[in-house]
Amino acid sequence: MQDPSSSLSVAAALDHGPADKRIAILRQIGAGGSISQAARAVGVSYKAAWQALDTLTNLAGVPLVERVVGGTGGGGAMLTPAGQALLDAAQAMDAARAEVLARLSGQAPAAARLALRTSMRNQWPCVVEALQVQGPLVRVLLRGADASAQTLRLASRITRESAELLGLVPGLPVLALAKATAVQVQRPGAIQGENCWPARVTRVARGEAGDEIAAQLDAGVHMVGFAAAASGLRVRSQVQLSLPESALALAVVH
C-alpha cells in the first residue's frame, strides 16, 4: 500500500507559514485526538477549525486527519501519516525561518512579505484599525503601515471564521491584496464610498477587453486596475480607483 504521506505537497500546505492557526489546530488534534478540543485550545469556533482542516487538506493534496469511530469518548480524530509529516515539516521550517529572520533583524518584515508568492499585483502592508462584526461576516478596517502610505484607508469584508483563523485584532500588521482585474478605474467622481481613491495615471496599456491602468494614489501608494476599452485615459490623467470590499484579501505574514 502506498504511504499516504508520499504525495503530500508540503510546499503548498506551508506556503503561508507554519505559525498560523491552521497548523496549530492540526497540532492540537495530534495531541488530543479531538477537533472540538483543538478548536477550543486554539481559540476558534468548531466551524473555523473545520475550515482550517479543509483548506490544509486541499493545499496538501492528501487527507491529514481521519475520524476515529467508537470508544469511551464516542469517537474523535487522529492525524494520518501525511498529517504528522506536515507537522514535522512545519516545525523544521519554523526553526529555519526564525534563524533567518533573526539574522535579518530590522529587515525581517520586508523579507517576510517578499516570501509570499501570489498572482495579485496589488499588495500593501497595512495595520488593522477595527473589526465590525456583521452577522456571518466581519468588516475589517485598515490603514497603510508604511510611512509613505499613512493616509491609505481600506476595508475588507471576510467571514468570521477567516477572521478567527487569521487572529485579526486591532494593531495587527497584515498584507492587503487585490487582483488588478478587481480594481475599477474611472473618471473622478464616478462613485463614492469606501475603497475609493483619487489617483493620477502613470502607465496605460490599451487592450480590446479593457485598458490596463497603473496609477499613483494621492495616499502615495501605487495600484493597478482596469478601465473600459478605449477609455481615452493618458499618463497624468486624474482618475478614481475603486475596489469591492469582498475583493480585498488579507494575509498575515509571520
Given this model, what pLDDT does residue 95 score? Answer: 73
222 within 8 A of 148, measured Cβ to Cβ: no
Find where cell 468548531 sits. 46
Lookup: cell for 15:
506556503
Query: Mean pLDDT over residues 17-34, rounded?
Result: 82
The 10s digit of each residue's pLDDT in 176-211 is 999 999 999 999 876 777 899 999 999 999 999 899
Given this model, what pLDDT does residue 14 score? Answer: 58
Mean pLDDT of the chain: 83
- Residue 78's SS3 state is strand
Q: Is 90 a residue whose pLDDT tops 60?
A: yes
Which domains are delineated in the chain? 4-109 (1.10.10.10), 117-175 (2.40.50.100), 178-243 (2.40.50.100)
Given this model, what pLDDT does residue 102 score? Answer: 64
Q: Is 118 a residue whose pLDDT tops 70?
A: no
- Residue 170's SS3 state is coil
* 227 vs 57, higher pLDDT: 227
Given this model, what pLDDT does residue 115 score? Answer: 53
112 phi and psi, to 5 degrees?
-65, -40
Find where cell 485526538 sits. 33
* 151 vs 221, higher pLDDT: 221
Single-letter amino acid, residue 16:
H
Given this model, what pLDDT does residue 150 score? Answer: 52
Please report, for residues 215, 226, 252, the alpha-carbon distance to residue 203 in angstroms, rounded to integers and kept in the order given: 7, 11, 30
The 10s digit of each residue's pLDDT in 122-161 is 988 899 999 999 999 999 999 987 655 457 899 999 999 9
Q: Is 212 a residue whose pLDDT tops 80?
A: yes
Question: DSSP secondary structure string, 40-62?
Answer: HHHT--HHHHHHHHHHHHHHHSS
- Residue 242's SS3 state is strand
Given this model, what pLDDT does residue 154 score? Answer: 93
Query: Mean pLDDT over residues 63-71, rounded?
Result: 78
Res. 1 pLDDT band, cuts 50 70 90: very low
Separation between Cα atoms, residue 89 and residue 96, nearest integer Å: 11
> H or E segment at 113?
helix 108-114
Separation between Cα atoms, residue 20 and residue 202, nearest integer Å: 37
60 within 8 A of 8, measured Cβ to Cβ: yes
